[in-house]
Structure 1
Amino acid sequence: MELLPPPGALAWFSPDVLLATWFGAGLVEPLRAGLAVASVLTVILVARPGRTASASWAMLLSIAAALAIASLEVRSGIGDDRRIVVDEVLGVLVLVALIATWRRIAITAVAALFLFVDRWKPWPLNVIETIPSPFGVLADDMAAGAIVGSAALLIWLAWPKATLAYRGATCGRTMKNGSALMADTSRSTKNGPKP
């Protein structure tokens, strides 16, 4: 493990550096983004903010983060630096705003999926990442959080319907004639209902 210097050789205790590196998590090599996400995820899992609180924090933090990144860019000449990890924190806040009521283990699993998608940067995230401004630095991770959270939410909403449809299909295959079987079981004989 290695501690990286702050971006642009600025003082680590500068408010811009503290926010952009998520209180130094972005300076810890090789854990950078994972450490930042783990720190905010721990707070989320303990505090259990609702959807509105998570969305509100994401909005407020995005404004502060954009200002901090713009200041770093002006002061150091560095735009999107690997040590800047506040964008991953914002992505997790957007994700949690969508799935805030889920169980802790599910939120953790979806956050891990977010980190994978954030590293992979499929289309359109790779296009969004090229926006030349502090909002471009933030937008790809916020979009990744929205995409992963929406996909997880859609799967969760569709899952009960899919399993019910599957159960109905398997029951239909095991019963030769469901309505006839129901009629047979409702009649009683000397030895009980017919199988």
Structure 2
Amino acid sequence: MKIGIFGAGRVGKTIGEGLIRAGHEVRIGSRDPEHAKHREWKREAGGKGDVVSLNEAARFGDPVFAALPWDGLKEALERLEPGVLKNKTVVDVTNAVRFEDGPRLTYGDTSAGELVQRWLPDSSVVKTLNTVSDRRMVHPSFRDGMPAMFVSGNDARAKNQVKSLLEDLGWRDMIDLGDIRQSRLQEALMLACVISEIRLGSPGMAFALLRG
């Protein structure tokens, strides 16, 4: 599969590395694709991955992962060529959270996932991977067992496509919460996880569902 990723930070590169190891081709979109900090990643990708412009990543991939910082995502999407994401799956892994005066979500009665779908009405947005840190996104390993990964989105075909990629990244327990409105639950779970990590002094936590 040819996959685009918006964001050449730790999240984007971690997802990219995992997908390349699973046999996919990856293009990571960056505002400065020729920066020296990308050279090592390009070399390790061994021809299966590259760091390119955001437009090039959008043209190349289906699906396309949105892994940019939340405060720059809307502007980046607005700068894309018109229609470049039309009829494509967009995987939203973002969280709109601020840490001043304690961790808080930054919007009102909506969610980052719903906003991304609103900004991209001709794309199928799927929310996932936002509830864990980048260190746990690929082949998650916990001494207490396998965590759950949640998925939400309006299009069943797009969600099945994303679930297949999650399997490639090592996830086994995947739960479909419903349409994109349920990304509110995923983003609330992320916040609960962050606060738990802070209170317990244990970074890199995740949620699991126990079956009776």
Superposed pair shares fold, TM > 0.5:
no
Greater Rg over alpha carbons, structure: 1
TM-score by length of 2: 0.31
TM-score by length of 1: 0.33
Structure with higher strand content: 2
